[in-house]
Each structure stands twice: as C-alpha cells, then as structure tokens.
Structure 1
Amino acid sequence: MNGLNSAGILIVQTLGSLYLIIVLLRFILQLVRADFYNPLSQFIVRATHPLLRPLRRIIPSVGGLDLATLVLALLVQMVLMGALLMLAYGTIGNPLQLLVWSLIGITGTFLKIFFFALIISVILSWVAQGSHNPGALLVHQICEPVLVPFRRFLPSLGGLDLSPIFAFLALRLLDMLVVNNLAVMANMPPLLQRLI
C-alpha cells in the first residue's frame, strides 16, 4: 500500500466515520426523545435529512423505532467499509460478508457513542454541573436512559452517583465480549476492525 492509498484510507475513514456517527446520533436522539429544538439536534437533522428523506418514503417506523435511520446507518457503514476495502485491497469481496461486517460495525459504534457520552457527562458533572449549554443538555439526555437501570439497583450514597461506573463496565464488556468476538468470528480484516 503506497502513501497515496494510506492518505485516501485516512480521509475516507475519518469522513465516513464522522457521518456514520451523525446518522447514529439521529437514531439515538429519537430513541431517547431528546429535545428536537436543541441547536445540535437541528444540525444532526439537517445533516442527515437529504439522504434520509427518500428512505422514509419506503421504510416506515415500527413501534417508535426509526428504521429508515438504521437502514441509512447500515448503508453508510457498508459504503465506508467497501471504499476502505477497495482502497486497501482493490476489491470489496463478498457483499453478504460486507453486510455482516457492517452490522457488527454499527453495533460497535453505537456502544462507543454511549461510552463517550458517559465520559463527557461525568466530566461535565465535575466542571459544569447544572450547565444549560445545548451540548451538555444533549449529552445528559443521551446518558440518562443508560443510567436509569443501574440507579434502580444501586443504593443512594448521599449525592455520590456510582451508576456511570457500572454503565462503563457494562458497555465495555459488551464491546469486548460481544462485538470484538463477533468481528473475529466473522473474519473481519484488521483495517475494518479499527472502525469499531
């Protein structure tokens, strides 16, 4: 692989992953019923709307889940992985295998979004507690549904919230034991494993 291919891989990987995260954030924001009028929510809606509009005509929502957004995330992941394989090896390989790798990749990215949102939430609780910044409010809205199940089982410790620690552990274990093992079992190339 020459320097030009490496540069192409870096650009495709960075821009493709960024757009995939934006698409998955749109799904997550709808899932957690985040504030639609938040400026960051509006940016995410505008960034995904052109590609999502045609999919919404054919793919309906089911039970409150926006399946069109999930299909768009899957398509973005497949195009991203296909482009990386084409740049690195000159072929995309088996389309069915690419679909399986894309599902694994989306699952890993989904977990990482929650993981990093929790990190941001913990840091904000130390430095900007009670902030009304649109980013801080959005992070809180994303993290709260993940933390609620842990708070039900943990006793109150007088203002000390340990639920993020257990949420970190759960997300990390899911990533290590499920996503990484699925990637290995599906023979995902190391180039694509870096995406998850």
Structure 2
Amino acid sequence: MNTLTFLLSTVIELYTMVLLLRVWMQWARCDFYNPFSQFVVKITQPIIGPLRRIIPPMGPIDSASLLVAFILSVIKAIVLFKVITFQAIIWIAAVLILLKTIGLLIFWVLLVMAIMSWVSQGRSPIEYVLIQLAEPLLSPIRRILPAMGGIDFSP
C-alpha cells in the first residue's frame, strides 16, 4: 500500500510541476514556439483547454492551470493523510504542498540551468526556455551581486 501511495504521490507532484511550469512560462512570456514549450503545452492542454473557456486568466497568470494544480495538491494531501474528509487541515496541507512544489520547481530550474551553462556547447531549446524562466528571478539578485571575474554568483 505504501508503494502505491508513493507512486500516486509522485505522479501527482510531477504533473503539478508541469502545470506550474506552464503558469511560470506564461508569466515570464517564454517563447511558445520552442519545442520544450510545445511539449509542456501538449501535456497540459487536454485538461487545461476546456477549463480555460470557463475560467479566464487573471492578467498574465493562467488561473485554470493554478486551479488544477491546487486540486491535484488537495488530492495528494488526501492520499498522503489517507483521510477523505475535507477539514481545514486538508486545505492547509494542500496549500503547503503547492508552495513546496513551487519551491522545488524553482530549485530544479535554477540547478539544471546552472549545470547546462557549464556543460553545454551551444544553446539547446531547453536551455533557452530555462534562461527565459530564470531571468526575472535572477535579475534583482544580479543588480545587487555583480559578476566577479566573469563568474556569475546569482544562481
């Protein structure tokens, strides 16, 4: 039973990360003609497409993707706690799970971007999208902490 719980929890978290990545890509105005961006859109479109007709976006933030990510976080909290009631603790746990997933997504994007900047020979489509995602987060840090000797300490 614990194996099934772990597997279901992992699948839910990965799909939640993809949904949050789509929200982040729309907020950062990433190039949606990029193959990696197209992959993210194609994975999330079957669920988000019908919801976008009902739930409009709130400015640059895709509210339909955020709603589905929150619903998946509620399902993950129910799976982890093995409780089917909708008490306040489930909603609080779902918000905390969603915040943890956002933090993990930011961590992995920055880590993969830093490693790819050291290793890659040219710009790959994934690296281009990761740079577009990380730039709004890193630019305030780069103003405070300038590059020293050609080394960027911001990520």
* TM-score, reference length from structure 2: 0.91
Amino acid at match of 1:7: T
Structure 1 residues 125-164: aligned runs within 5 Å? 125-128=117-120, 131-164=122-155
2:145, 2:7 → 1: CA distance? Answer: 44
Partner residue, 1:113: 105
Aligned: 1:37 with 2:33: yes
More displaced stretch, 151-160 vs 38-47: 151-160
Amino acid at match of 1:53: G
Amino acid at match of 1:146: L
Partner residue, 1:122: 114
Rg comparison, structure with higher value? 1
1:61, 1:127 → 2: CA distance? Answer: 37
1:135, 1:60 → 2: CA distance? Answer: 28
Q: Alignment RMSD, CA only?
A: 1.6
2:153, 2:78 → 1: CA distance? Answer: 41
- Measured after TM superposition, the shift of residue 53 of structure 1 is 2.0
Structure 1 residues 95-110: aligned runs within 5 Å? 95-110=87-102
CA contact (8 A) 1:23 1:73 kept: yes
Q: Percent identity?
A: 36
Amino acid at match of 2:73: Q
Structure 1 residues 1-196: aligned runs within 5 Å? 5-86=1-82, 91-128=83-120, 131-164=122-155
